[in-house]
A and B are shown apart, each in its own frame.
Chain A
Amino acid sequence: MTGKSMKRIFALLVVLLPLCLRAQEVAVGLSGSQAQVGEPVQLMVTVRGARGADVPQTLSVKGLQISLAGRSTQFEMHNFKMSSTLTYTYLVVPQFEGEFTIPSFDVQIEGKTFRTQAMKLLVTGGTRVPQQMPGLPQNTSPVPLPSGQPPASAETGEPFFAELILSKKKVYVGEVVPVELRFYFNSRIGGQVGERPTFGGEGFTVQKFSNAVKREQVVNGTSYVVFSFQSAITAVKSGTLEIPEATLEARLQLPGKTPQGLGDFFNNLPIPQGMFTDNRDVSIKTKPMQIEVVPLPKDGRPEDFSGAVGKFTMEASVSPKKAGAGEPVNLKVLVSGQGNFEGMGAPILTGDEGWRSYPPSDKFQSTDAVGFTGEKTFEFPLIARQDQTRTPGLRFSYFDPSTGKYMVLTQEPLEVNAKAGGAAPVAAGTPAASQADKPAPTPAAVSTPDVTTMAGGSTSWASLFFRREFLIANASMAVAWFAMLLILSIRRFARSRAGRELTRKKLLRDAFAGLREVEPSEFYEKARDYIFLRLNAGGDDLAAASRIDSSSLPPEFKASLHRVIERHGETKYAAGGAPPPSADERQAVILVLKDLEARYEK
């Protein structure tokens, strides 16, 4: 690093750092306004426009245990303006029921004192949940360390270390236990970490890992970047269970040697990553653990135990409320809570005589990242064998590991109006068809060979609409329709004023053009026809003469036209016939008619 480069870095810092300083704000909020005893909630203090703040490590409220869990920083650059947001997260663990007020407290930012607002938290009774990971939103869910103490590895000052956090050391077979894998990296180290840790072993199953949540945490005065992955394990056999190490691969930029004698100087500078560092591939491992797995007790186990282990509630609804003969109604059961949703069976129908039931469909919707909390919906299709006004009841049993006892949830029958009937009626009083008593595959309804004579229908998989004959027939009809449309349009046009005028103009053009090529003996006849056509005089000489006289044409012009009509008479009717017109005479007549055309065009 040359002196010139250092000067550039300092210049950049001098330019950028003041941009970080904007109006300072402090905001405070709780992740929830209600909680149960033992269920942690988060208190977040958000500081904007500052690079640091002094906040209290603990808050004293009787009935609430409040301690600072960590700090995260978020930088944003927008239009070359940098802004920073610091979030200090406290964990608030209620100790007993009641309504609590978290008092306002002071936050010091660069010598200024900001005071937060007081907040209320309502705590209700409930079993103590020793962890809060699944219920918390992602990216803001630092899981409390079991002891509330920093990790032991931090004391050694390692640049990176890992720990596995398990909420319980004694679990039941089939119980889902949330786990969190945390990988700590000294915040002065740069590098890349793997997408997922490797974790697994014999005697337990592992749920898929959540996406990594990254945050900052100060441990024993050292700032660490923490990547945490959440999952859940389920023990499948009793005894001592060895939880092996979990491993995360990473490529780190570990501190290298600084120039001799300048170590302290460089350590106190915001040196860019990569300067004086060695790139190393490392495997960060958690420490193996042991937990005790005990079998589910046999005492008190219901005969219809569903296999569910956890804590659940059950709700049911039916739709439609009215069903005609043979129509199914849908009994929908919602089992929600925390536990082994994958291993649980469906609730049991009670009092379902008079109903035909079918195995339910099921669908699980998780509300956390690891499938520990959520709701499972079972839908029972039911058809009444006899007229019914109430659905069957429901019974769901599970094992509650927090009390060590089996619990039974029941649902009373719901009101419904379903008529008996259907295509496959069953005699009243016979047991319902269910998974356990599927009817044998001997369909009585299909055993009569004569029914085949009832079959008709199509002999093609193609719909009539796609068959060639149908398409050709319709295409022909369409062609005929358009042809008819065309003919009608032409006819209508021909009858219209514009159409008639167009026809007349064409006739005039043809008649005039014919004058030049016609035989001399027929010349005056054609010339007379042209005049008739031009004057709309029909075929009558008298009418034509009258039209000529009544027109506004000049007298000499009128005389020329009369002369053409007279010459036609002479040619046609004179004894011995009039001599045919000479070329000059014809040219003169054509000029007269051309003049007539021009006058009428005007």
Chain B
Amino acid sequence: MKSSPIVVLLLLLSFHARADMLSDARARFRDGEYEQSAKLYEQELEKSPPSAAVFFELGRALNKTGQEARAALNFRRALILDPRFGPARSALQEANVALGIPPGRKDWRTQVVERIPLDPLALAGTVFFWAGAFAALAAFVPPALRGRRLVLGILSLIIGLSLASVAWLCDPRIELANTALVLTNGGTSVRSSPADQSEKISSLPQGSIVNLLSQRGRWFYGLLPGGTKGWFLTEGIVPLIPPA
């Protein structure tokens, strides 16, 4: 029991230190010390839970130092955590223009995540689902079958499943789980087989996105934006969602 105050004190000190680091990073950004600022943001992200705001600010600092690809990576990470974060979306588009990466077409998922918060949607779907499931069950409570309760239950069940399915399909943390960004200067070559001398079938410019399918040694096998599949070196290919 004596140790409890000490633990609380340590936690408070830790929180204070983190707050200081973030404040310091922001202050340095305001003072134009972008590289230092970026380092502090990175340290903050290593110690704290991921935050869309911090990733965005890190991307902004990197962008100021001319590291567009790394900036784009962090803007994308900010958007994965908060798909409705408009400034991060605009900043990503600007970074992509600088990198020469063409904009992707907005599919229905993007349009959904830009408008609806996904976690509340998933929770609402779950609540509807279970409410429907219990209501449907209650329809069978003796002595008689209650038709209206059954219909309402099934309706609620279907609504809940639909909402949860949309949240699942649109969640970038699921959709982009195996997606990576090319950080290598000058991009990377895509080859027909995992060998340096094999035929070059395409190239991935710096900042482009690729879906990783498998890995063999120092080679990734991936799906390119145009639908082509090929092998490319793992160096400079960074997953959008950092490994745990």
Q: Chain A interface (Cβ within 8 Å of chain B)? A: 208, 327-328, 356, 358-359, 361, 363, 379, 381, 383, 422-424, 433, 435, 438-449, 451-465, 470, 473-474, 477, 481, 484-485, 488, 491-492, 495
Identify which of B64, B134, B174 contacts A463 (C-beta below 8 A).
Answer: B174
Q: Is B81 in contact with A457, judged by CB distance below 8 angstroms?
A: yes
B78 and A455 contact, CB distance less than 8 A: yes
Which B residues are in CB contact (< 8 Å) with A424?
90, 93-94, 97
Task: Determine the residue in chain A with the shortest Cβ distance to B174.
Answer: A463
In the complex, how many angstroms separate the beta carbon of A456 from the nearest chain B beta carbon?
A: 5
Which of these binds chain A: B1-9, B10-18, B101-109?
Answer: B101-109
**A446 contact from B51, B91, B205, Cβ within 8 A:** B91
Say whether B209 faces chain A, with CB atoms less than 8 Å apart.
no
Cβ-based interface call for B147 (8 A): no
- Point out the residues of chain A lying under 8 angstroms from B88, CB to CB: 455
8 extra interface residue pairs, beta carbon distance < 8 Å, beyond A481-B134, A491-B142: A328-B103, A358-B102, A424-B93, A448-B87, A449-B30, A452-B57, A463-B174, A488-B137
Give the CA-CA distance A59 to B151 in the complex, in Å. 85
Given A445-B91, A458-B119, A461-B241, A492 and B81 touching (CB < 8 A)? no
Cβ contact of B143, chosen from A381, A452, A495, cutoff 8 A: A495
Within the assembled complex, what's the spacing in Å between the Cα atoms of A465 and B122? 8
Flag if B91 contacts A443 (CB, 8 Å). Answer: yes
| B102 cross-chain contacts in A, Cβ below 8 A | 328, 358-359, 361, 381
> Can you sample 13 A-B contacts with CB below 8 Å?
A383-B103, A424-B97, A441-B98, A446-B87, A455-B51, A455-B82, A456-B117, A461-B242, A464-B118, A464-B122, A465-B168, A481-B134, A488-B141
B226 at the interface (CB under 8 A from A): yes
Interchain CA distance A525-B168 in the complex, whole Å: 68
Residues from chain B with Cβ under 8 Å of A464 in the complex? 118-119, 122-123, 167, 171
- 6 pairs of A and B residues whose beta carbons are closest in the complex: A457-B82, A381-B102, A455-B53, A451-B87, A446-B91, A443-B94
* B231 at the binding interface (Cβ < 8 Å): no
Q: Give CA–CA (A33, B142) in the complex, Å.
A: 82
A484 to B137, CA, bound (A): 8
Report how many A-B pairs have Cβ atoms within 8 Å: 164
- Do B174 and A465 touch across chains, with their CB atoms under 8 A apart? yes
Complex Cα spacing A485 to B117, Å: 34
List B120-152 residues whose CB lies under 8 Å from chain A: 122-123, 126, 130, 133-134, 137, 140-143
Docked CA distance A446–B90 (Å): 8
Does B122 lie within 8 Å of A456, measured CB to CB?
Answer: no
- Contact residues of B between 12 and 30, Cβ < 8 Å to A: 26, 29-30
Contact between A456 and B174, CB atoms less than 8 A apart: no
B98 pairs with A461, CB closer than 8 A: no
B179 CB within 8 Å of chain A:
no
How many positions in chain B have a CB within 8 Å of any CB in the partner chain? Answer: 70
For A445, list chain B residues within 8 Å (CB): 87, 90-91, 94
Q: Does B52 contact A (CB under 8 A)?
A: yes
- Answer whether A492 and B142 are a contact pair too, CB < 8 Å, given A441-B66, A446-B60, A451-B87: yes
Are B142 and A456 neighbours in the complex by a CB distance under 8 Å? Answer: no
B87, B117, B167, B225 pick with most chain A CB within 10 angstroms = B87
The reply on B235 being an interface residue by CB < 8 A is no
Question: Which chain A residues lie closer than 8 Å to B193 at the CB level?
Answer: none
> At the interface, yes or no: B85 with Cβ under 8 Å from chain A?
yes
Residues of chain A within 8 A (CB-CB) of B137 are: 481, 484-485, 488
Q: Given the interface contacts A440-B98, A461-B173, A464-B119, does A423 sit within 8 Å of B89 by beta carbon? A: yes
| Contact indicator A458/B81 (Cβ below 8 Å) | yes
Q: CB distance A327 to B105 under 8 Å? A: yes
Q: Is the CB of B63 within 8 A of A446?
A: yes
B171 to chain A, nearest CB (A): 5
The answer, yes or no, to whether B202 is at the interface (CB within 8 Å) is yes
Closest to A474 in B: B126
Q: Are B98 and A439 in contact (CB under 8 A)?
A: yes
Instruction: Report B-chain residues with C-beta under 8 Å of the C-beta of A491.
Output: 142
Give every chain A residue within 8 A of B87 (Cβ-Cβ): 445-446, 448, 451, 454
Whether B133 contacts A438 by the Cβ 8 Å rule is no
CA distance A282 to B161 in the complex (A): 73
Partner of A208, one of B59, B106, B142, B199: B199
Residues of A within 8 A of B101 (CB): 358
Note all chain A residues with C-beta closer than 8 A to B51. 455, 459
Q: What is the bound-complex CA distance between A448 and B137, given in angstroms?
A: 54
Q: Give the distance to chain B from A247, nearest Cβ to Cβ, in Å.
A: 20
Distance between A358 CB and nearest chain B CB, rounded to angstroms: 4
Give the residue among A462, A463, A473, A484 with the most B Cβ atoms within 10 A. Answer: A463
Q: Is the beta-carbon distance between B100 and A358 smaller than 8 angstroms?
A: yes
Given A455-B78, A477-B130, A491-B142, residue A361 in contact with residue B226 (CB < 8 A): yes
Chain B residues lying within 8 Å of A456, measured Cβ to Cβ, are 52, 82, 84-85, 117
The verdict on B228 contacting chain A, using a C-beta distance below 8 Å, is yes
Contacting pair B85 A454 (CB below 8 A): yes
CB-based nearest A residue for B99: A438
B78 touches A492 (CB 8 A): no
CB of B71 to closest CB in A, whole Å: 8
CB pair B56–A452 under 8 Å, yes or no, is yes
A444 CB contacts on chain B under 8 angstroms:
94
Residues from chain A with a CB closer than 8 A to the CB of B94 are 424, 439, 443-446
Docked CA distance A235–B29 (Å): 54
Give CA–CA (A470, B26) in the complex, Å: 34
